[in-house]
């Protein structure tokens, strides 16, 4: 067995070996918090202070949970499956599946992701004839989620004005709709599980007796409800071991509450507060950059980070004329990192503030033939064709799931028009049942078509009864007509491949979860070796309120198969952050939002789109604490990098179908000049004519490192755009002083020109909008005669 504690510094050692008391490890990025948490679990087990089933560990992403399990099994020869390791949502889902009846849910309840939730809300409002201009569905969604995250049911929401009253009324109607359809949204998973434990004393006592070790990573991002859930599990006698970093709190917009750290300290009487100040992740320049940035925030608990790693390479900054050009530069750099630097693609990450930014970068990577994987964003499970197939699967499990029903009742088209669907929805409302159950009430041609859809679902359900999960998925894709539909579609090839990939994902799922490959998708298999015990209250006889005695409880966690493979797979599809998408396993450059990068680390990191309005995001400017949160987000982004950090921005960018003209992010003014290296001239505010920076020779030292094996001599810096310091761009056809017209800004006069070819840009003094720099390849200026 490896010596678990050998490589820890004294503070880390102290944290890992703390007595079984509440503890808070407060420390900056890369200081080993996650490592300490994992090592502590291993140490507790190794020393016999805990057994695997007594461990509950909360991570921030599914990816982190998987990583934790594989690192634990590498440290100790134990079966990690007895432990509960996962995200708040994942763990709550698991508990609700095991006790669905006590929680008031059908065994096959489905999870609505954020998009499903919105369409469910829209459907509700339409049915109730609510004016969606006065009450925008998105606002209602926010209202509901916010209330749930505060732990509030409709009756508990304080509705002081008529506007709120309407929202509360709609919240109530939405709850009824979800209950009728047997679906839960993300915050409902948490609230329902919290209420389950809060209202069911025997169950609570059971889990309190079981989870003696509760460990929470990224504690700064827990919201009020999650914290309350943890408190219920901890009860009077279990110690919570929490690790976190107030500077990395980036979910305040979703109700995360840094105050939980202070509450935790106070309420649990935490005597063990440990700070870690040594950073093991990043080279010096990168860390200095992060430290300088976060120092601009005023509300901090205060801590420092140092490193022994040496300065390393400076942080490289690049200004592009357009987003296309920015992407081109990134791809060139990536190529150099791989070819000359010897980096694996997966050691390189490209980060952005908003999902919409990934499209251009993806496009450029595709053209360059570099494999990449997008985390978050349009996740594999969110693609149209995949959601269609999942909807059929959901209907087999739960015909009352109206969201799934509405999605595929006429897809592929089977002559069921919008009017028929409306008729059906009306009937469902009238009789207080699901759409599927209301079909017999619809007469005429519409009724016939609907009837044959119901028959199709019934047929699929019967035929797949004994099939394994992958077989079921394959069957559904075929018999639903989806594969034929996409075969006949002009650009359906990609979609067909994704559907095939869904079958692969199902295969991977059953083997990873330890189901046999031939386990029927809808059977609950008991663990070999586990006592064949009845499920907890949820599977007890119809209608009975089950009184449980803690001692007599069979622990569902000893037997993870209280979920059928199909239910497990559907939950996985809703909860998964896109980690098992197409090309899983392929060595690929990692693309993700900064939010999704939390807790991860990469050798080289690109932070892109560093423009005012984008990062910091324009929405943050209107909120009091918004800017500080954006800065923490930037701090998270910077501290993902181990050896190489690149920052870039573009003067113009196509986003949501519009060209935006941007100035560089204010964060640049908060970073120390000594750690940065501008690859393009740094233009001081108020002047565009900065000196040319010295590009010669950068990167060679780093690539020459022996462990990279890169032939340093071959390395060439990526070509840089030629920004000539000249007042006239020869090939643009424009000249200084010319009167021009721009579709958005109107009329103006050119005051300066620079660059050439695709990089050419002009400064124009507009009559109404003042002076702006425009990329000529994008701006399409017209000369006014
Ligand atoms: P974040 O705040 O970003 O989540 P963290 O505090 O959780 O960071 P870790 O991810 O646990 O930090 O550790 C950062 C890196 O430093 C990891 O690669 C980890 O293996 C390494 N590391 C941590 N402690 C040590 C140590 N004592 N010796 C060597 N490497 C270490
Ligand atoms: Mg961590």
Which atom in ligand 1 lies closest to the alpha carbon of residue 29? 2
Amino acid 727: pLDDT: 36
Q: Known binder of ligand: residue 514? A: no
Which atom in ligand 1 lies closest to the alpha carbon of residue 35? 11
- Grade residue 22 by pLDDT with cuts at 50, 70 and 90: very high
Smallest-distance ligand from the CA of 27: 1
Looking at per-residue confidence, does 602 or 76 come out higher? 602
Q: Known binder of ligand: residue 749? A: no
Amino acid 500: pLDDT: 83
Measured from CB, residues less than 6 Å from any atom of ligand 1 are 7-9, 12, 27, 29-35, 245, 248, 280-281, 599, 601, 639
For residue 641, pLDDT over 50 is answered with: yes
Amino acid 590: pLDDT: 92
295-332 pLDDT per residue, tens:
998 877 777 788 888 999 999 999 999 999 999 999 99
Ligand 1 midpoint to CA 641 (Å): 12
Distance CA 58, CA 64 (A): 10
Amino acid 559: pLDDT: 45
Amino acid 468: pLDDT: 94
Amino acid 462: pLDDT: 95
Identify the sign of the CA torsion 47, 53, 56, 60.
positive
For residue 128, pLDDT over 70 is answered with: yes
Amino acid 46: pLDDT: 92
The runs of H, that is alpha helices, within 24-183 are 33-46, 62-75, 88-98, 114-127, 137-149, 162-181
440-497 pLDDT per residue, tens:
998 888 899 999 999 999 999 999 999 999 999 999 999 999 999 988 877 677 788 7
For residue 731, pLDDT over 70 is answered with: no
Neighbouring C-beta atoms of residue 302, cutoff 10 Å: 8
Amino acid 700: pLDDT: 30
Q: Parallel, antiparallel, or unpaired: how do β-strands 761-766 and 84-86 relate?
A: unpaired
Neighbouring C-beta atoms of residue 271, cutoff 10 Å: 12
Q: Known binder of ligand: residue 27? A: yes
| Pocket perturbation via mutation, ligand 1, pick of 16, 24, 30, 602 by most ligand atoms within 8 A of CB | 30
For residue 8, pLDDT over 70 is answered with: yes
Ligand 2 midpoint to CA 278 (Å): 14
- Grade residue 502 by pLDDT with cuts at 50, 70 and 90: confident
696-727 pLDDT per residue, tens:
323 333 333 333 333 332 232 333 333 333 33
For residue 205, pLDDT over 50 is answered with: yes
Which atom in ligand 1 lies closest to the alpha carbon of residue 31? 6
- Grade residue 561 by pLDDT with cuts at 50, 70 and 90: low
Amino acid 711: pLDDT: 31
The stretch 666-685 carries a mean pLDDT of 90
Q: Known binder of ligand: residue 677? A: no
CATH number of 3-101+190-278: 3.40.50.300
| Pocket perturbation via mutation, ligand 1, pick of 2, 35, 597 by most ligand atoms within 8 A of CB | 35
- Grade residue 553 by pLDDT with cuts at 50, 70 and 90: very low
**Residue minimizing CA distance to atom 11 of ligand 1:** 32
**Residue minimizing CA distance to atom 4 of ligand 1:** 599
Domain edges within the chain: 3-101+190-278, 112-181, 315-379+581-678, 381-513, 722-783
Please, which residues have CB less than 5 A from ligand 2, an ion? 33-34, 599
136-190 pLDDT per residue, tens:
999 999 999 999 998 999 999 987 777 788 999 999 999 999 999 889 999 999 9
Looking at per-residue confidence, does 694 or 44 come out higher? 44
Amino acid 413: pLDDT: 85
Helix (H) or strand (E) holding 23: strand 23-27
**Helix 88-98 vs helix 224-234: crossing angle, to nearest 10:** 50
Ligand 2 midpoint to CA 41 (Å): 15
Given a contact cutoff of 8 angstroms between Cβ atoms, the answer to whether 137 and 125 are in contact is: yes
Stretch among 51-65, 175-189, 421-435, 618-632 having the lowest mean pLDDT: 618-632
- In the block, residue with structure tokens 């015909």: 399
| Pocket perturbation via mutation, ligand 1, pick of 246, 280, 287, 306 by most ligand atoms within 8 A of CB | 280
Neighbouring C-beta atoms of residue 506, cutoff 10 Å: 24
CATH 2.40.30.10 is held by the domain 381-513: no
| Pocket perturbation via mutation, ligand 1, pick of 8, 12, 25, 32 by most ligand atoms within 8 A of CB | 32
Which atom in ligand 1 lies closest to the alpha carbon of residue 12? 27
691 burial level (CB within 10 Å; 0-12, 13-18, 19+) = exposed
> Quick one: CATH architecture of 315-379+581-678?
3-Layer(aba) Sandwich (3.40)
Q: What is the mean pLDDT of the chain?
A: 82
Q: Known binder of ligand: residue 162? A: no
Smallest-distance ligand from the CA of 279: 1
The stretch 363-378 carries a mean pLDDT of 79
- Grade residue 656 by pLDDT with cuts at 50, 70 and 90: low
Looking at per-residue confidence, does 244 or 686 come out higher? 244
The stretch 385-402 carries a mean pLDDT of 92
Which atom in ligand 1 lies closest to the alpha carbon of residue 27? 6
Q: Parallel, antiparallel, or unpaired: how do β-strands 315-322 and 348-352 relate?
A: unpaired
Which atom in ligand 1 lies closest to the alpha carbon of residue 9? 27
| Cis-peptide, bond into residue 616, ω within 30° of zero | yes
Ligand 2 midpoint to CA 64 (Å): 9
Smallest-distance ligand from the CA of 643: 1
Amino acid 137: pLDDT: 93
Looking at per-residue confidence, does 253 or 65 come out higher? 65
**Residue minimizing CA distance to atom 30 of ligand 1:** 280
Q: Known binder of ligand: residue 29? A: yes
For residue 560, pLDDT over 70 is answered with: no
**Helix 284-294 vs helix 626-638: crossing angle, to nearest 10:** 170
Smallest-distance ligand from the CA of 5: 1
Q: What is the ipTM of this complex?
A: 0.99
**Residue minimizing CA distance to atom 21 of ligand 1:** 280
Percent of the chain whose pLDDT exceeds 70? 84
Q: What is the DSSP letter of 681?
A: P
Which atom in ligand 1 lies closest to the alpha carbon of residue 28? 2
CATH number of 112-181: 1.10.10.160
Looking at per-residue confidence, does 762 or 759 come out higher? 762
| Cis-peptide, bond into residue 412, ω within 30° of zero | yes
Q: 3-101+190-278 and 112-181 share one CATH topology?
A: no
CATH 3.40.50.2300 is held by the domain 722-783: no
User: Hey, what are 33's tokens?
Assistant: 């918090």
For residue 513, pLDDT over 80 is answered with: no
Ligand 2 midpoint to CA 598 (Å): 8
Looking at per-residue confidence, does 123 or 756 come out higher? 123
Q: Show which residues are catalytic.
A: 33-34, 217-218, 248, 640
Ligand 1 midpoint to CA 283 (Å): 13
Ligand 1 midpoint to CA 280 (Å): 6
Q: Known binder of ligand: residue 459? A: no
230-276 pLDDT per residue, tens:
999 999 989 899 999 988 888 776 666 777 888 888 888 888 889 99
Ligand 1 midpoint to CA 647 (Å): 23
Ligand 1 midpoint to CA 631 (Å): 22
Q: Known binder of ligand: residue 417? A: no
Contacts of residue 519, Cβ cutoff 8 Å, sequence gap at least 6: 468, 469, 510, 525, 565
Looking at per-residue confidence, does 751 or 405 come out higher? 405
Smallest-distance ligand from the CA of 36: 1
């Amino acid at each position: 067995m490896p010596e678990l504690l050998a490589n820890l510094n004294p503070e880390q050692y102290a944290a890992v070996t703390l007595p079984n008391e509440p503890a808070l490890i407060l420390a900056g990025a890369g200081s080993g918090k996650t490592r300490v948490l994992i090592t502590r679990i291993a140490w507790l087990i190794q020393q016999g202070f805990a057994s695997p089933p007594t461990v509950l560990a909360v991570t921030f992403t599914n990816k982190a949970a998987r990583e934790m399990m594989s690192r634990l099994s590498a440290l100790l020869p134990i079966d990690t499956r007895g432990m509960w390791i996962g995200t708040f949502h994942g763990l709550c889902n698991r508990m609700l599946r095991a006790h669905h009846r006590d929680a008031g849910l059908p065994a096959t309840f489905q999870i609505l992701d954020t998009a499903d939730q919105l369409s469910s809300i829209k459907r509700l409002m339409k049915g109730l004839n609510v004016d969606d201009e006065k009450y925008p569905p998105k606002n209602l969604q926010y209202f509901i989620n916010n209330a749930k995250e505060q732990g509030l049911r409709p009756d508990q929401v304080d509705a002081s004005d008529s506007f709120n009253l309407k929202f509360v009324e709609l919240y109530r109607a939405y709850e009824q709709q979800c209950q009728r359809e047997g679906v839960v949204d993300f915050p409902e998973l948490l609230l329902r599980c919290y209420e389950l434990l809060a209202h069911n004393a025997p169950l609570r006592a059971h889990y309190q007796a079981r989870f003696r070790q509760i460990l929470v990573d990224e504690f700064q991002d827990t919201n009020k409800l999650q914290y309350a859930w943890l408190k219920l599990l901890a009860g009077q006698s279990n110690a919570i071991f929490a690790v976190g970093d107030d500077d990395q709190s980036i979910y305040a917009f979703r109700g995360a509450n840094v105050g939980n750290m202070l509450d935790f300290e106070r309420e649990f009487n935490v005597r063990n507060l440990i700070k870690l100040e040594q950073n093991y992740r990043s080279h010096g320049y990168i860390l200095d950059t992060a430290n300088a940035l976060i120092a601009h925030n005023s509300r901090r608990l205060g801590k420092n980070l140092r490193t022994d790693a040496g300065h390393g390479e400076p942080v490289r900054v690049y200004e592009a004329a357009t987003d296309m050009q920015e992407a081109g530069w990134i791809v060139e750099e990536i190529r150099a990192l791989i070819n000359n630097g010897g980096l694996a693609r997966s050691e390189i990450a490209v980060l952005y503030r908003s999902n919409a930014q990934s499209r251009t970068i993806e496009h450029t990577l595709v053209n360059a033939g570099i494999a990449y994987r997008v985390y978050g964003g349009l996740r594999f499970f969110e693609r149209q064709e995949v959601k269609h197939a999942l909807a059929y699967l959901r209907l087999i499990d739960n015909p009352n799931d109206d969201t799934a029903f509405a999605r595929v009742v006429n897809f592929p088209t089977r002559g069921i028009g919008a009017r028929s669907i409306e008729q059906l929805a009306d009937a469902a409302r009238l009789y207080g049942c699901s759409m599927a159950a209301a079909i017999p009430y619809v007469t005429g041609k519409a009724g016939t078509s609907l009837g044959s859809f119901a028959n199709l679902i019934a047929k699929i359900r019967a035929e797949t009864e004994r099939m394994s999960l992958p077989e079921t998925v394959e069957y559904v894709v075929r018999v639903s007509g989806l594969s034929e539909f996409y075969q006949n579609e002009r650009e359906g090839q990609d979609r067909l491949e994704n559907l095939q990939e869904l079958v692969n994902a199902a295969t991977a799922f059953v083997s990873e979860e330890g189901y046999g490959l031939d386990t029927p998708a809808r059977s609950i298999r008991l663990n070999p070796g586990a006592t064949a015990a009845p499920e907890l209250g949820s599977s007890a006889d119809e209608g009975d309120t089950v009184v449980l005695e803690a001692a007599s409880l069979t622990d569902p966690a000893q037997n993870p198969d209280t979920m059928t493979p199909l239910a497990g797979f559907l939950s996985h599809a809703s909860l998964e952050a896109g980690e098992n998408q197409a090309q899983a396993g392929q060595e690929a450059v990692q693309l993700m939002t900064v939010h999704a990068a939390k807790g991860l680390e990469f050798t080289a990191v690109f932070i892109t789109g560093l423009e005012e309005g984008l990062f910091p995001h324009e929405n943050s400017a209107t909120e009091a604490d918004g800017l500080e949160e954006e800065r923490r987000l930037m701090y998270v982004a910077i501290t993902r990098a181990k050896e190489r950090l690149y920052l870039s921005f573009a003067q113009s960018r196509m986003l949501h179908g519009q060209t935006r003209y941007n100035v560089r992010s204010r964060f640049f003014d908060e970073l120390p000049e000594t750690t940065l290296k501008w690859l393009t001239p740094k233009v001081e505010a108020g002047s565009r004519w900065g000196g040319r920076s010295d590009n010669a020779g950068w990167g060679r030292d780093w690539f020459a490192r022996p462990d990279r094996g890169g032939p340093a001599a071959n390395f060439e810096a990526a070509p840089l755009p030629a920004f000539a310091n000249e007042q006239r761009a020869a090939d643009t056809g424009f000249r200084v002083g010319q009167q021009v017209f721009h579709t958005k800004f109107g009329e103006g006069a050119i005051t300066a020109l620079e660059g050439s070819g695709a990089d050419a840009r002009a400064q124009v003094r507009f009559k109404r909008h003042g002076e702006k720099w425009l990329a000529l390849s994008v701006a399409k200026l017209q000369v006014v005669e």
